[in-house]
Structure 1
Amino acid sequence: MMSTENLYETWRERFREECRKLGLDEGRKRGLDEGRKRGLNEGRKQVLREVYEARFGPMPANLVAILEATDDEARLKSWNVLAAVGSAEEFAAALAAGSNNGG
């Protein structure tokens, strides 16, 4: 008769092996990578809003909606630069153009 600990270890190893067979280790890694990407993009959005508001005042609701709908890393980076050095009009035009290109 197996002890509870030995039984646990046996089933844990079987579960790990099944996960490896099913590619769950890779799925976990992809999930973590996606979570990091989302977190970074949320941080970029927050900084972008803060910079915009420091320079121009409250961000208009239509721009907030475009910003929140955007997950493209390169676009968010370029918008952060534009919020820091461009005019409010240039920023609004860039977001409007970005939303017309799949946001």
Structure 2
Amino acid sequence: MGNYYVKPERAGNSPYTRSGLPPPKLDPTGDKPLHRGGNAMSLEMHMADERARARGLTPAEREWRMKWVKDQNLHPDEPIAVDAVHRQLNPIRILYRVLFLPIH
């Protein structure tokens, strides 16, 4: 068994590539993200387009997604505020309020 690798002929003088061709030019904006430098970061990015999000979904996944989106809408009575939930204090908090907080 031998080594069957054949070194490609050099087409240029660049020391940075095997072929000798210079590396491709970079984008003039550089490789830094677009949200740097005072621009607000977009949380949507490539997902802003509904068609792009749904492109690879199966019919079952599309049906599930429609149900999920529908479930995100709140009922007119929601959210329900229950005062008893916020009034309950644990014993340590009651003791702390009695001992350390001034009485008004």
User: TM-score, normalising length from structure 1?
Assistant: 0.28
- Structure number having the greater helix percentage: 1
* Higher RCO structure, 1 or 2 (CA under 8 Å, sep 6+): 1
User: TM-score, normalising length from structure 2?
Assistant: 0.28
